[in-house]
Structure 1
Amino acid sequence: MMTSTGRGRGRGRGLLATQSLSKPGGGGDAALKSTTNVNNTEDDQSASCMNDLEQLIETLTLEPEEEDIAKIQTMADTVKTSSDLKELANIIYNRCIKDREFGKTGACLCDRLANMEVEGSKFRNIMLSLVQIDYKDKDSLRTKSPGRFLGFVTFLCQVFGNMRTAKGEPFNVLSGPIYDCIYTIFDDDNSSDDDYECLLLQIQSIGKELEAFDESKMSELMEKVRTKIIKDGRSARARCSLLELLESYSKGWKTLPNEITRYYCDTMAEIFTDAIC
């Protein structure tokens, strides 16, 4: 359970107490008690709301029903403070980072909440700020926690593919960081099979949009893919992922025919079987 930010601090309590005690008539203690009770009630309601939201988000499936998303939206509309809005963003972000299969669901949920604004704080900006923090620390993140790094890369790609600006456009500013993260993996001789499989899934998902934004970078990336397949002595599993990625690129990022998809799935299954044996 994440530590709640901004809860239980008795917002404005000290000022109200001072003003009440300074009034003539000896009613300061009663006023202080009344103010404290009101603030405690507000804090309890805020804590209960955030706990309920966290539980809903933690139990959200990878393919949620519309009613589940709508319920989260309705509850999120009751958030009254910027600190609670930041906590909501953190809850969603951390679920995505620790479970990269949840990345797309989380990004779609963020898109639905993007226009929320509380006390001058916008949900969209808060979420992008969280992404920026991990991006700046990506090298350290990759070293200390490879799984979290892949969760971050997945979420970054899914935000680019599913979250939109106020004008309904993709966050093209994210394309540079996405390419940087991709090259971080490609240029590292110690990259794992899991790294390449993650790249396959994410680039397949957003390849069309990435290429449309910068064709030259995509062409450069595909040259790296070819080199990895032919020269760099990658494992069979890594080469299988890279070959499927190259094929998706050659098909214009259209969904591959069932027989081709089945071929790669069967080949990967054989690779896993051989590895176990």
Structure 2
Amino acid sequence: MPWTGAILSPSPVKSCWGWVVMGEAGREEYKIQSFDAETQQLLKTALKDPGAVDLEKVANVIVDHSLQDRVFSKEAGRMCYAIIQAESKQAGQNVFRRGLLNRLQQEYQTREQLRARSMQGWVCYVTFICNIFDYLRVNNMPMMALVNPVYDCLFRLAQPDSLNEEEEVDCLVLQLHRVGEQLEKMNGQRMDELFVLIRDGFLLLTGLSNLAQLLLLEIIEFRAAGWKTTPAAHKYYYSEVSD
């Protein structure tokens, strides 16, 4: 089933420092310096005048770069949201959103091949799709079309072979910090099932690194505390990680 059926409505955007209201796309500054000059211009134009560029190409550029750049994959959702809002205001269309979700679906369907081919690409994909889920809203609610794909990616990260990879454990925990509470509200049963895997991995798997054990215990306690970190837990876990 395609993921492109719903229309996005305006909503606040959550930055890493809290909730802010998205202004005009042209007023926002984004970290796109890692692109070549031509692509930078393409993205800047898409943010200011989306009708003047090929928005399917823009979607492909953003997805391709997100699969290669870990830093960009963490923040690309904000840029995607701004382009969608700009396109909606200018033309009332959703070419960019459709192209973006089509590419996400294509990559989702070949996620095992991606993981086998490139661990970094796989981790970047999970980070990116969770970032998109975090930012994009339909009638001020998370996109239902992305709930199960995001869960499926997190379930893959909770499999025994992934829990033995610190890179995947780190990704799993970071994404649960970011979107776990939202996901649980959308489908609490799947979150329960996911945490059964996480707890079993923590308790039963041999060979887990000390860092992986620490991260898994932290996210178990984080959810148990209502998706919040107490000051004591923050001090304990972050001092352990820094040590």
Structure 1 vs Structure 2: percent identity of aligned residues?
Answer: 27
Distance 1:184 1:91 in 2: 26
> Could you say which residue in structure 2 is the equivalent of 1:146?
119
Q: Contact 1:228 / 1:239 at 8 angstroms: preserved in 2?
A: no
Shift of 1:259: 3.5
* One-letter amino acid matched to 1:89: A
> Could you say which residue in structure 1 is the equivalent of 2:71?
101
Residues 78/154 of structure 1: CA separation in 2 closer, same or farther (3 Å cut) = closer
Shift of 1:74: 7.0
1:31-87 Cα shifts (integer Å, max 9, x gaps): xxxxxxxxxxxxxxxxxxxxxxxxx75327xxxxxxxxxx93775415435xx2122
> Could you say which residue in structure 1 is the equivalent of 2:152?
180
> Could you say which residue in structure 2 is the equivalent of 1:239?
213
Residues 78/161 of structure 1: CA separation in 2 closer, same or farther (3 Å cut) = closer
Q: Contact 1:86 / 1:126 at 8 angstroms: preserved in 2?
A: yes
1:59-116 Cα shifts (integer Å, max 9, x gaps): 27xxxxxxxxxx93775415435xx212222222223222223234210111111142
> Could you say which residue in structure 2 is the equivalent of 1:251?
225
Q: Contact 2:183 / 2:191 at 8 angstroms: preserved in 1?
A: yes
Residues 105/189 of structure 1: CA separation in 2 closer, same or farther (3 Å cut) = closer
> Could you say which residue in structure 2 is the equivalent of 1:42?
none
**Higher normalized contact order (CA 8 Å, seq sep 6+, divided by chain length):** 2
Q: Contact 1:107 / 1:158 at 8 angstroms: preserved in 2?
A: yes
Residues 197/77 of structure 1: CA separation in 2 closer, same or farther (3 Å cut) = same
CA RMSD, 1 decimal? 2.4
Q: How many residues align?
A: 201
Distance 1:119 1:164 in 2: 16
Residues 218/238 of structure 1: CA separation in 2 closer, same or farther (3 Å cut) = same
Shift of 1:169: 2.5
Distance 2:183 2:227 in 1: 11
* One-letter amino acid matched to 1:102: F
Q: Contact 2:46 / 2:55 at 8 angstroms: preserved in 1?
A: no
In structure 1, the residue corresponding to 2:52 is in which secondary structure?
coil
2:192 to 183, 205, 219: 219
Distance 2:221 2:112 in 1: 29
Distance 1:127 1:74 in 2: 14
Q: Contact 1:73 / 1:112 at 8 angstroms: preserved in 2?
A: no
In structure 1, the residue corresponding to 2:205 is in which secondary structure?
coil
Structure-2-length-normalised TM-score: 0.74
Distance 2:182 2:47 in 1: 33
1:77 aligns with 2:49: yes
1:264 to 219, 228, 237: 237
In structure 2, the residue corresponding to 1:247 is in which secondary structure?
helix
* One-letter amino acid matched to 1:242: L
Shift of 1:203: 0.7
Residues 75/153 of structure 1: CA separation in 2 closer, same or farther (3 Å cut) = closer
In structure 1, the residue corresponding to 2:161 is in which secondary structure?
coil
Residues 94/222 of structure 1: CA separation in 2 closer, same or farther (3 Å cut) = same
Structure-1-length-normalised TM-score: 0.66
Unaligned runs of 5+ in 2: 1-29, 35-42
Q: Following TM superposition, where does structure 1 have runs of at least 4 consecutive aligned residues deviating by more than 3 angstroms?
A: 71-76, 117-121
Distance 1:78 1:244 in 2: 43
Unaligned runs of 5+ in 1: 1-55, 61-70, 271-277
Q: Which structure has the greater CA radius of gyration?
A: 1
> Could you say which residue in structure 1 is the equivalent of 2:81?
111
> Could you say which residue in structure 2 is the equivalent of 1:90?
60
> Could you say which residue in structure 2 is the equivalent of 1:229?
202
Distance 1:136 1:157 in 2: 16
Distance 2:52 2:75 in 1: 25
